[in-house]
Structures are given as C-alpha cells and as structure tokens.
Structure 1
Amino acid sequence: MTYDAIILGAGGAGLFCAMTAGKRGRRVLVIDHAKKPAEKIRISGGGRCNFTNIHTSPKNFLSDNPRFCISALAGFKPADFIALVDAHGIAWHEKTLGQLFCDGSSQQIIGMLLDECAQAGVTISLENEVKSVAKGETGFTVETSKGSFAAPALVVATGGKSIPKIGATGLAYEIARQFGLSVVPPRPALVPFTFGPELREALEGLSGVSVDAVVSHGKTRFAEALLFTHRGLSGPAILQISSYWREGDDIVIDMAPGRDVLAGLKEARKATPKQEIATALARLLPKSLAENVARRAGVEGRIADLSDRKLEAAAALVNRWRVKPSGTEGYRTAEVTAGGVDTRGLSSQTMEARAVPGLYFIGEAVDVTGHLGGFNFQWAWASGFAAGKAL
C-alpha cells in the first residue's frame, strides 16, 4: 500500500507530525509495535502530562550541536500548543517553574492528538512490527508484520531507549546507521543516581528524606528538591543534573542553599554552647539528615566542645557535599534518552537527513534533550511540526 508519508512511532512527536502533514492533504500512515499509542504521554506527569513549559528556550536543551533546536522551537511555541489544548476544551494549570499540566488526565492529550489525526485522515496501524526499511528510486519500503508499505517520505519517531517496559527500543539508531547517519552515543537522562555499598551504608535510614538543594556538575547547576532513596539520590535537582553527568564524575550538593552553615554553627556555639551539634544542624536540615551529617563528619556532643575544624567538616557536608555516584538507575527509570541521531546530518528547518532525501528524524530519537519540566514534550511537538510541514 502506498502513502505520501510513513511515520514510524505513534508517540507525541509521531502523532503531531502525522496530524500536521495530514492537515496539508498528505496521506499518512503511522506504524507502531505497541498495543496503544503514546504510552509515554500516558504515564507522564504522574498521569496528568506535563505537556509543555511556558519558559521554553534553546537554553533548556542539551545537544552536541546546541544551536540545532533553535529553528524548530521558534516555529512552534508553547503558546501554539496551549491554543490547541484550549480548542479541545482541556483544562490545565501551571504547577511550578512554568510547567503546565492537565487538570484531569494525560489521556486527554492523547485523545486530542488522535482526534486531530482522525480529522486529518491519518491511518494508524498499531501492534505492527517493523521488519525492515529499504530505499529505492521512488522512495521507501517498510516491511512489517502486517505487510509491506511504501511512501516517498519516511519519518522516524520511535524515540530513545528510555523505559523499555513500555516498548522503547533503539530502532531509530539502527535506521540512522543503515542510511549512513552518525549517532551520538545514547545514555539514560533525567534519571536517579545510585551509590556503591559503602556510601549506601553511610546514608542508611535516609530513604524518603527530601531537602531543597543546589546540585552542581562543573558550571551547570540546578536548584530544586533532592530526595534520598534506598539506592542513592533522586528528586528534580538530581534528575536535571544527571543529563550532564558522566560515569566517574563528582557532583557537588548544597543542602542549605543561601545559608552559611559554618557561620551559623559558630554563632550557635556562642549563643547556645550546651546544645548538641546535631540539634544545631537540625535547624537547617531534617532531624535524621542532621544526625547523619554529624555522624559522617565525625562530630558529636556539645557544640561548645567542638573546634573550628570540626565545625568546618560538618558544614562542608551540608554546603559543599562532594559525592561520586556509582551510576544511574539506567533506562529502566530514565525519563528520556540523551544522545541519539547526530543533528549535524539533519536540516534544522525540516528534520530531513541531508544525505538521504525523504528521510526524517524527530523527537527523542534526535540528539536534543530537554530539561525536566515539559521541555521534552515541547521538542516533540516542535520537531514533529517542522517535519510535518515539510512532508
């Protein structure tokens, strides 16, 4: 069967590309191996879908080619997606830091995209596995478990490797390499850190404790919540910095941002010399964490009996805790995949492969990774729109 365009992947980027092309009169087929479309949308934002961020700018994305995202993001902005959401009568709210969520369910966003695709005459073929992709003189042929399909244009929107239990695969990278495109090595991003046995033991009993923190890796820093887990660290600040972290690197954590802990401890030593060091720390930190910091710093007892050096050791573990994660929880829990199809081989205007006319890559499959907070969905919409306009 012949179409004007075949799109591999019925996620956010694929569906948005399909409806955009369909509205322009193109006959579009979307193929996906999953039973249901857009599973990542369904589970996002705690089931309410953090569908965009009103503060979206190129600064919210990392890539080996950081300027690549500028054109697509300018061509389809958060306000454009909000207008579509409003037109479908979907109620939404801003949570924090410009993050927009559905008042109801993420299923409303999926329903909206499917409605738009239906109105545009898009055909969606689910539970259909791609066996092979080939290019001939007239375009592309896709062999699937449900037959053979052909089109002059092929859009790869199959995402990255994140969350394999909902069907994520590396198909996009295989197709890119098949056609001679480079792939920036993929890695889990927006993912919790894990610690080795020694550090896990030192932090035992802190699982579930949360603090506001500033987490740094080199010159990159994020100020959000941090959460101790039984495996290591999580929370928004940790997920954000994980996208920049590489194995073997340290991160630096300030668990009392804006507070000079050493000065506070010295003041406490003068004002209330009889109090325990852990009690003084508990004015800044949750009690269990304060006790843990004192123990790991090797300082105990009355604050009056402690030297400046001992106070410095405790303060450093709060304001400048340098820690080396042993790894991350991997693709199993990573919200996105960093790396992907090298954007130097793609047009930033249309997402088309420069050396392979008619072949496009969009969404998470591409080496453009957003920060936490709706930015990756905005990239899905923007890159899908850019390709959809060009088909």
Structure 2
Amino acid sequence: MAKSDQYDAIILGAGGAGLMCALTAGQRGKRVLVIDHASGPGKKILISGGGRCNFTNVNATSGNAKERYLSANPHFAKSALGRYTPGDFIELVAMHGIAFHEKTLGQLFCDDSARQIVEMLMAECDKSIATGGRVDFAFHAPISAVSHADGRYSVLYNGLNASAPVLVVATGGPSIPKMGATGFAYDLARQFGLKVVEPRPALVPFTLGGDDVLFRELSGVSADVDVQCGKIRFREAALLTHKGLSGPAILQISSYWRHGEPIGIDFLPDQPQGWLRQFKREKPRSSVKSALGSALSARLADILADQIGEACNLADIPDRRLEEAENRLSAWQFTPNGTEGYAKAEVTLGGISTDGLSQKTMEAKTVPGLYCIGEAVDVTGWLGGYNFQWAWASGVAAGLAF
C-alpha cells in the first residue's frame, strides 16, 4: 500500500533550477518535496566548469537576453532574468564565504570546488525551517506516474504517493544521458497539453568527414579563431579533436548551426588585411609555412600551408595568389557532417514551449499549478554561465509565485 504525503509543492528534479525553486518557496514558509532519480542533488553542477562550476556570467542580464538566449520567443527570459540578476546570485555566494574569480568574458568560477555551490543551495533549503517551511528530498526515486485531479497533483515514486496543489517540472533536457538525463519533462508537458519545441543538442562539438578529416591529424591543437555561421560570429578558442572540432568558439556556434550549413573559420583574426603580402616584403625568402608559423602552432601552420599549396618562397609568389591565400585563411569553410550529440552536449536547445507559460511566474497558462523551469523550457543560453543564471532566475520566479 503506497504511503501518501501532502505538500504545498512537489518539484521534480534536484538540479540548479529545482534547488533554487525549493529554497525560495521553502523560505517563504512552504512545505516542498523535491524528487530526483539521481543519488544526490546537483549532479550537473558538480561536473560543470571542470569541477569548479561556472555559476553565472556578469553579462547574463535581461538587457542581453534577446541576444544571448535562444528561444522561439527571444523576449521570454527577460522577466525572470531582470528580477533575479547575476549580482543577486553573487551576493548569495559571497554570503556563504565561497571564493570565486572571473575568467574571460564575464564568466565566474569557484576558486575551489563546484561542490560548494551544491552545499550552499542545500544549506539555503535547510533555512526554510526558520520560516515555518520545509524542504524534503527523495533521491534514488524514479517516478512511476503523475496525475492531476481535484486541483491536486499526485506523484507516484518508489511505492510512495505524494500530492500537492503545485507541481514544478525541473528535470532538464536529455543532454549528458550518462548522468541519467532524459526527455521526461517533454513527456510530462505533452501529458498536460503543453507544446514542445523540437529539442536538439546545443553547445556541442562538431564531427567532420570527407576532405576535412585531415584535421583529425591535429587532435589536441587549439587556436584563437573567429568562427561564423550565417550572420552569427564568435571570437574564442577552437580545439581540433580526433572527431572534429570543439572548444568554446565551436560550442557557441553549434547552437546556431543546422545540418548541411557551412561553418567559416578565420584562423588569423588578429592579422590585418594584406599581412601576408607585408610579410613577403619584410622577409621575401620566407615560406608561407614560416609566415603562418609566426602566428599559429607549427602543426596547424604546416597543415594550412599544405592545403594552400604554396611551398616556395614568398618572393616567388604573386601578390594576387597571396591575397587569395589570405582570403581562404580568413574564411576557411567546413561543413560538419554532424555533432557528437546529446552525449557531449552541455545543454539542450528547444524544450517546453514558452507560448504556454507565464514569463513572470513560469506557470502553465492552461494548467493551474503546473510550473516549468530551467533547461526543460525552450530557453538556452550561451556558453559561460548563462544557463546557470537562467536556472537560478527561473527557479526563483516560480518559487515566489505559489
């Protein structure tokens, strides 16, 4: 016989968004149950940022939402991001004495360990007792069924049955399935009549085939590049791998790429127009390979020079051909044959459609008491702390609403 427990809210998922929602509601005096099939809280937090958790980005603001968050509704994220800012989360981190530092492009990381962020969130959940609230957890708890009747949601898990007038879907997307990630959130959304924007891997490495396979020989080589897909450009590092292309610049552009589209890479973004011809005037006896080697790693310079096909001294190469070589190096074309999929994707693009949700509260417009937050929703940020800030902000928005 299943045991029944009644709560003010049941949160499915103990990731960043779910924990943030739980502590926010709990500190408002609500009794909350958080259910997760994993062995403990914050599994993706623990592995993020190389184990140091890139917990936010100072630029993850409502003013940048349209540019730096992808969604069928580019304005949807503005409300939550405007009401819970990177500064708010930084204040919480500082209050817990967690040392952190800023890397490039506004990215904030723990000095020590991502585990500090999880411990902080759990400690904040414990504070609920002081306000008459309570946050309970059920781990190793796969969900058997979810139903809704008479204004209450019932969740069957591990032979137990919990019910509440509020159900929060915070189970994320299917990225990194080895950690147990699934499309459960989408199944649940469809069960309650919500639409789902087609999900696909995002912030994910590309795979290469055909003539581009030669770059696999350079596995482990990185370069600071300017990468472009359509009108979108990113200037960061790219990493050549045994399967294709990775690194921050590639992960960023992957969110904008569609199968069959070419990717343009400027291998020498800091070199001015005409630099190779100027190099010829200054060092006419040098080769294209040595010119490239002055700005790139020797292995990458060798491959690019061989591809350009200019093996003689610069003095013997007409300026017109050097100009053509420059143009190719500044817009080298790749056509990925795919990506490494959800297994290596940091996040999922698409998800529960924002059309059916309130941007202020994250509640479903047609299903009272049903909230959807975090990665489960069709809001996907850039690499570098943007997705964590969306998790915190959307979790707070829901936690304040019921």
TM-score normalized with structure 1 length: 0.97
2:99 corresponds to which residue?
A: 91
Within the candidate set 64, 75, 87, 1:79 is matched to 87
SS of residue paired to 2:155: strand
Whole-angstrom distance in 2 between the partners of 1:54 and 1:77: 9
Within the candidate set 5, 8, 12, 1:4 is matched to 8
Whole-angstrom distance in 1 between the partners of 2:367 and 2:343: 33
1:113 corresponds to which residue?
A: 121
Whole-angstrom distance in 2 between the partners of 1:304 and 1:41: 55
SS of residue paired to 1:265: helix
SS of residue paired to 1:174: helix
Give the fraction of aligned pairs with identical amino acids, expressed as a percent: 57
1:292 corresponds to which residue?
A: 303
Q: Are the counterparts in 1 of residues 363 and 370 from structure 2 also a CA contact under 8 Å?
A: yes
What are the superposed Cα offsets for residues 120-142 of structure 1, whole Å, 9 maximum, x if unpaired?
12001000011111110131111
Q: Check 1:357–1:241 CA distance in 2 against 1; reply closer, same or farther (3 A cut).
A: same
Residue 211 of structure 1, CA deviation: 1.1
Q: Are the counterparts in 2 of residues 72 and 382 from structure 1 also a CA contact under 8 Å?
A: yes
Alignment of 1:132-171 (within 5 A): 132-171=145-184
What are the superposed Cα offsets for residues 216-251 of structure 1, whole Å, 9 maximum, x if unpaired?
111111111111111111111111111111111111
Root-mean-square deviation (CA), in Å? 1.2
**Letter matched to residue 119 of structure 2:** G
What are the superposed Cα offsets for residues 306-362 of structure 1, whole Å, 9 maximum, x if unpaired?
234432343233211121111111111111111000001100000000011100100
Q: Are the counterparts in 2 of residues 160 and 364 from structure 1 also a CA contact under 8 Å?
A: yes
1:65 corresponds to which residue?
A: 73
Residue 383 of structure 1, CA deviation: 0.1
Q: Are the counterparts in 2 of residues 176 and 182 from structure 1 also a CA contact under 8 Å?
A: yes
TM-score normalized with structure 2 length: 0.94
**Letter matched to residue 60 of structure 1:** R
Q: Are the counterparts in 1 of residues 212 and 334 from structure 2 also a CA contact under 8 Å?
A: no
**Letter matched to residue 102 of structure 1:** C
**Letter matched to residue 185 of structure 2:** A
Whole-angstrom distance in 1 between the partners of 2:368 and 2:287: 71
What are the superposed Cα offsets for residues 168-218 of structure 1, whole Å, 9 maximum, x if unpaired?
010000001111111111111111111014311x22431111111111111
Within the candidate set 139, 142, 148, 1:126 is matched to 139
Q: Are the counterparts in 2 of residues 35 and 126 from structure 1 also a CA contact under 8 Å?
A: yes
Q: Are the counterparts in 2 of residues 294 and 314 from structure 1 also a CA contact under 8 Å?
A: no
What are the superposed Cα offsets for residues 266-296 of structure 1, whole Å, 9 maximum, x if unpaired?
2233332222221112122212111111111
**Letter matched to residue 85 of structure 2:** K
Whole-angstrom distance in 1 between the partners of 2:43 and 2:216: 35
**Letter matched to residue 84 of structure 2:** F
Residue 298 of structure 1, CA deviation: 2.0
**Letter matched to residue 329 of structure 2:** V
Q: Are the counterparts in 2 of residues 128 and 146 from structure 1 also a CA contact under 8 Å?
A: no
SS of residue paired to 1:353: coil
Whole-angstrom distance in 2 between the partners of 1:131 and 1:352: 23
Q: Are the counterparts in 2 of residues 62 and 368 from structure 1 also a CA contact under 8 Å?
A: yes
Q: Check 1:305–1:342 CA distance in 2 against 1; reply closer, same or farther (3 A cut).
A: same
SS of residue paired to 1:71: helix
Residue 143 of structure 1, CA deviation: 1.3
Within the candidate set 244, 253, 259, 1:247 is matched to 259
1:215 corresponds to which residue?
A: 227
Q: Are the counterparts in 1 of residues 13 and 169 from structure 2 also a CA contact under 8 Å?
A: yes
Aligned pairs, number: 389
Whole-angstrom distance in 2 between the partners of 1:145 and 1:309: 72
Whole-angstrom distance in 1 between the partners of 2:388 and 2:290: 44
**Unaligned regions of 5+ residues in structure 1, if any?**
none
**Unaligned regions of 5+ residues in structure 2, if any?**
129-133
Whole-angstrom distance in 2 between the partners of 1:85 and 1:232: 37
Whole-angstrom distance in 1 between the partners of 2:227 and 2:212: 18
1:44 corresponds to which residue?
A: 48
